[in-house]
Amino acid sequence: MTAGHSFIVIDGVTKLVQLSKPTIYKLMNQGRFPRPVKLSAQRVAWLREEIDDWIAERVKERDAALAAAVAKRSEATSDV
């Protein structure tokens, strides 16, 4: 592990992504959210970088959907 990594516990994750704990765990079970790292027998945390990457992916998905909608509207108006 490099010096640039930092951990964030579940309460911090919920604040960053604005999702509830059950939703986060549901997404993890579906393979749609980063998995935590086991720090000790009873403590897990997420890599901050992976959470930031997950957020950035959501933004990319939104932007791609918006671009597709704009392109579709543009095609529809050019056909008129």
pLDDT tens per residue, range 37-56: 999 999 999 999 999 999 99
Counting the structural domains of the chain, the total is 1
61 lies in a domain?
Answer: yes
15 lies in a domain?
Answer: yes
Let me know: does 42 contact 2? Beta carbons within 8 Å. Answer: no
2 lies in a domain?
Answer: no
The C-alpha atoms of residue 52 and residue 34 are separated, in whole angstroms, by 10
41 lies in a domain?
Answer: yes
Per residue of the chain (80 residues), what is the pLDDT tens digit? 456 899 999 999 999 999 999 999 999 999 999 999 999 999 999 999 999 999 999 999 999 988 888 888 877 777 65
42 lies in a domain?
Answer: yes
Which has the closest alpha carbon to 7: 40, 50, 59, 41? 50
**Domain range enclosing 61:** 7-78
3-class DSSP state of 69? helix
